[in-house]
Amino acid sequence: MSDTGKVRTSSAIQEPKDPMLKRKLDNASPAEEADIRGVASKETENYDTPDLILTSNERVIRKGNASIKLGKDRNSNRFSGAGGKGQSHCAAIDIVAGTLGHNASSRDRKGNKLYADPNFVLDSARIYVSQKADIDGYFRLKKPKGAGSTSSVTPRSGIAIKADNIRVIGRENIRLITRTDSINSQGGELSNADKSGYGIDLIAMNDPEDLQPMVKGENLKDCLNALLQVVENIGTILDNFISYQQSFNRAVQNHTHMSPFYGTETAPDFKQTMMAGVENSINVALNCQVPMIADIPLTTVAVVNDYLDNSGVAGDKYILSLYNRTN
């Protein structure tokens, strides 16, 4: 309560536009104001509820600004949607909480009664079920390349859920499953020639431009294990090469020539070749062979244990989800 005893207003309480109701609130006691505003979920004057514009074939169940409407497919005025075009097989159920959202009002500032058609942009929360609809177009969804989207000439039955936040909760599990039938709701055959339209797209920011395929975890594990095996094989090959090269280097390091004097063997080049050979052998051993023998196997085992192995208890870095799968 404020210092004046009135109900404190905030962004959660929008003042009515109806001038008569505003005067009534201004002159009300705290208790009367609470009743007018519907504190404790009491019955209240629906100052935030515009009247719905209904067609002759629509029936509605309504309480306050929440409604369930049965009729034909339409997303806006009476001429919109499949129903507005006079098409058949286009029954629809429209469940809305908050027609016109934060703009909702029963009257304008001049006291005139306000009426509203469905508004798939402004209405606060909606579950829309239609036998035939351009569901992507109605909700202004940008369409990925390829099959799977609707249009005014390729409508489909559809269910759309829209709100500020949506939570789908399963006490045990949730499954998203596609392509259960061979014929769609419009009687069209679902071909196996192009399966790109039967998948599941996860699109943030209504931007499908950079839509990419998901990675399948087990296949990724197989790929990474194969790459690790390649790394190990390269290590073995390189170790063999170093051994062969070291043998050759020692031969060069200790080599002698035949003297032109009586064919005797000369002494090795102790000053340059032999010293360079010794230094090279030490460097190769310390900087190549030892790390290859010690580090590569340990690193490979660590990668497998941390990211790819679930034979025991999966660690925090294990790349496969313990719960979620996709095909």
Q: What pairs with residue 162 in β-bridges?
A: 126
Cβ-defined contacts of 49-52 (< 8 Å, 24+): 49/99, 49/104, 49/106, 50/99, 50/100, 50/104, 50/105, 50/106, 50/114, 50/115, 50/116, 51/106, 51/113, 51/114, 51/115, 51/116, 52/99, 52/115, 52/116
Same domain, 100 and 73: yes
Same domain, 140 and 234: no
Same domain, 41 and 60: no
* pLDDT number for residue 263: 60
pLDDT per residue rounded down to tens, the chain (327 residues): 444 455 444 456 677 777 777 788 888 888 878 877 778 777 777 778 999 999 999 999 999 999 999 999 999 999 999 999 999 999 999 999 999 998 998 888 888 899 999 999 999 999 999 999 999 999 999 988 877 899 999 999 999 999 999 999 999 999 999 888 999 999 998 888 777 788 888 888 999 888 888 888 888 888 888 888 878 877 777 777 777 677 767 767 666 666 676 666 665 655 666 677 677 777 777 777 777 666 676 677 777 877 788 776 666 778 777 766 676
Same domain, 130 and 165: yes
Range of the domain at 302: 217-308
Same domain, 227 and 128: no
The secondary structure of residue 129, as a DSSP letter, is: E
Strand ranges, E, within the chain: 51-52, 59-63, 66-72, 91-97, 115-116, 125-133, 156-162
Q: What pairs with residue 69 in β-bridges?
A: 60, 94
Residue 304 near residue 225 (C-beta atoms within 8 A):
yes
* pLDDT number for residue 251: 66
Who's near 96: CB < 8 A, 6+ residues apart?
66, 67, 69, 118, 123, 124, 125, 126
The tens digit of pLDDT for each residue in 58-68 reads: 999 999 999 99
Number of domains in the chain: 3
pTM of the model: 0.75
Same domain, 288 and 237: yes
* pLDDT number for residue 9: 42
**Maximum C-alpha span of the chain:** 132
The residue whose two tokens read 């679930």 is 310
Q: Does residue 118 lie within any of the structural domains?
A: yes
Helix (H, G, I), strand (E, B) or coil at 128: strand
Same domain, 40 and 86: no
Q: Does residue 86 lie within any of the structural domains?
A: yes
Same domain, 151 and 223: no
CA-CA-CA-CA torsion sign (71, 77, 78, 84): negative
